[in-house]
């Protein structure tokens, strides 16, 4: 029942000694989504014990090098390791040229299907549906076409409270009806109300990824109430002008989105290499949104199951 975001690459365009550019893994109950794939992503996956073989979907936010330069080496390694399972890549449409280049020159040993799905959305739009979750893409406000991603766990099926099963000697048929949310009328006229007998076992969890982006008004509504909000915080208040010029966010901007959206936790990353110590960014964000955490390589932000009974 894991629902977690692992931050791997946490630098912006220029990596440093201890920070690689963007790469993240979202784990929804064992299904892995790689979000952005900068240079060195496959090394980071290996270093933090995440098997690339388990990645079914790669989501690319936009076509800046610090989000995509790692994809060809990763595809190549997948092929060398004998992958046969299909892979899905979601990215802005122009990515098809990169993929074509790879297929033309480097895909000799590739024995798996690489399915490309172009992103296009003006508001949150469902792009993936698995048994346990839905993934939505939504536009961000950056210099080039850019998308954020929202992961929402599906509503769980209803369960019937154990104490009633014995107490009222519920039949399998009655349990089935109650689980479907229907009241049961017995032959003696007794009514077993689904609202009393059945319950939702847990609250569905959610997480959003927003990088790269300058602030814009719709965003807080699109990520309303998420348990974990990953939001870029490239700059601090001292470089606010530069942040606007490059269509990025400051740590304070990220914190304002988290606060307005009512997020459970804010994770900031995509730090500019101009900051030798990014704690200054963390401090600025925490003044607005105390539940802010700084992304580090290999850090896991887990959302535990919120059981209702
Ligand atoms: Zn970037
Ligand atoms: Zn960018």
Span 292-301, pLDDT tens digits: 999 999 999 9
Q: How many angstroms does the Cα of residue 198 sit away from the middle of ligand 1?
A: 47
* Radius of gyration over every alpha carbon of the chain, rounded to an integer in angstroms: 22
Question: Hunting for tokens 């509503």 — which residue is that?
Answer: 155
Round to whole Å and give the CA distance between 171 and 152.
34
Q: How many angstroms does the Cα of residue 209 sit away from the middle of ligand 2?
A: 14
Task: Give the number of whichever ligand sits closest to the CA of residue 144.
Answer: 2
Q: How many angstroms does the Cα of residue 157 sit away from the middle of ligand 2?
A: 40
For residue 143, what pLDDT is reported?
Answer: 96
For residue 307, what pLDDT is reported?
Answer: 84
Token pair of 59 as six digits? 């989501």
Overall average pLDDT of the 147-169 stretch? 94
For residue 236, what pLDDT is reported?
Answer: 98
For residue 306, what pLDDT is reported?
Answer: 86
How far is residue 209 from each of residues 99, 163, 227, 260, measured CA to CA in Å?
A: 24, 41, 11, 16
Cis peptide before 243 (omega within 30 of 0): no
| The CATH number, out of the four listed (3.30.200.20, 3.60.15.10, 3.40.190.10, 1.10.12.10), of the domain defined by the range 3-156+200-307 | 3.60.15.10
CA proximity to 81, closest of 112, 106, 39, 105: 112
Round to whole Å and give the CA distance between 225 and 219.
12
Give the lowest-confidence range in 49-53, 70-74, 102-106: 102-106
For residue 220, what pLDDT is reported?
Answer: 98
Task: Give the number of whichever ligand sits closest to the CA of residue 21.
Answer: 1
Overall average pLDDT of the 200-208 stretch? 95
Exactly one of 36, 66, 227, 253 is catalytic; which is it? Answer: 66
Spell out the domain ranges in the chain.
3-156+200-307, 159-198
For residue 73, what pLDDT is reported?
Answer: 97
Is pLDDT at 188 greater than 90 in this prediction? yes
Q: How many angstroms does the Cα of residue 12 sit away from the middle of ligand 1?
A: 5
Percent of the chain past pLDDT 90, that is, above it, reads 96
Is pLDDT at 309 greater than 80 in this prediction? no
Give the lowest-confidence range in 12-16, 195-199, 233-237: 12-16
Query: Higher-confidence residue: 308 or 105?
Result: 105
Q: Is 236 exposed, middle or buried (0-12, 13-18, 19+ CB in 10 A)?
A: buried
Give the chain's count of helices (H) and strands (E). 11, 20
Confidence of residue 249 (pLDDT cuts 50, 70, 90): very high
Token pair of 307 as six digits? 């059981």
DSSP string for 164-202: HHHHTT--HHHHHHHHTT--EE-TTS-EE-HHHHEE--E
CA torsion sign for 1, 233, 282, 278 is positive
DSSP string for 4-44: EEEEEE-B-SS--SS--SSEEEEEETTEEEEEEE-TTHHHH
Is pLDDT at 308 greater than 90 in this prediction? no
113 is catalytic: no
Is pLDDT at 8 greater than 90 in this prediction? yes
Name the DSSP letter for residue 94. Answer: T
Q: How many angstroms does the Cα of residue 156 sit away from the middle of ligand 2?
A: 36
Q: How many angstroms does the Cα of residue 140 sit away from the middle of ligand 1?
A: 12
Task: Give the number of whichever ligand sits closest to the CA of residue 141.
Answer: 2
Overall average pLDDT of the 235-250 stretch? 97
SS3 for 250-267 is EHHHHHHHHHHHCCCEEE
For residue 16, what pLDDT is reported?
Answer: 86
Is pLDDT at 93 greater than 80 in this prediction? yes
Task: Give the number of whichever ligand sits closest to the CA of residue 22.
Answer: 1
Instruction: Give bridge partners of residue 57 from the DSSP assignment.
Output: 33, 88
The predicted-structure confidence for 113-156, as pLDDT tens digits, reads as follows: 999 999 999 999 999 999 999 999 999 999 999 999 999 999 99
Q: How many angstroms does the Cα of residue 268 sit away from the middle of ligand 1?
A: 13
Confidence of residue 17 (pLDDT cuts 50, 70, 90): confident
> For all residues of the chain together, what is the average pLDDT?
96
């Amino acid at each position: 029942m894991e629902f977690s975001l692992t931050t791997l690459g946490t630098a912006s365009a220029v990596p440093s000694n201890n920070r690689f550019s963007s790469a993240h893994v979202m784990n929804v109950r064992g299904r892995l989504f790689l979000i952005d794939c900068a240079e060195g992503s496959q090394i980071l996956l290996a270093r933090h014990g995440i098997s690339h073989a388990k990645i079914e979907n790669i989501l690319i936010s936009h076509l800046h090098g610090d989000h995509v330069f790692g994809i060809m080496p990763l595809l190549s390694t997948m092929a060398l390791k004998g992958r046969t399972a299909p892979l899905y890549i979601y990215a802005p449409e122009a990515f098809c040229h990169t993929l074509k280049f790879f297929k033309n020159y480097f895909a000799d040993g590739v024995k798996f299907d690489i399915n490309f799905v172009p992103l296009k959305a003006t508001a949150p739009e469902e792009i993936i549906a698995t048994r346990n979750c839905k993934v939505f893409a939504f536009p961000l406000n950056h210099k080039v076409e850019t998308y954020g991603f929202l992961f929402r766990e599906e509503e769980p099926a209803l369960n019937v409270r154990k104490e009633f099963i014995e107490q009222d000697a519920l039949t399998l048929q009655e349990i089935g009806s109650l689980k479907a949310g229907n009241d049961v009328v017995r032959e003696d006229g007794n009514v077993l109300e689904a609202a009393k007998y059945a319950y939702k076992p847990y609250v569905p969890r959610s997480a959003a990824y927003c990088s790269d982006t300058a602030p814009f008004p719709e965003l807080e509504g699109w990520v309303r109430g998420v348990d974990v909000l990953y939001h870029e915080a490239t700059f601090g208040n001292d470089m606010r002008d530069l942040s606007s010029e490059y269509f990025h966010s400051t740590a304070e901007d990220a914190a304002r989105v988290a606060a307005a959206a009512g997020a459970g936790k804010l994770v900031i990353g995509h730090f500019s290499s101009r900051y030798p110590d990014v704690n200054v960014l963390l401090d600025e964000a925490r003044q607005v949104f105390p539940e802010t955490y700084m992304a580090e390589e290999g850090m896991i932000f887990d959302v535990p199951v919120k059981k209702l009974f």
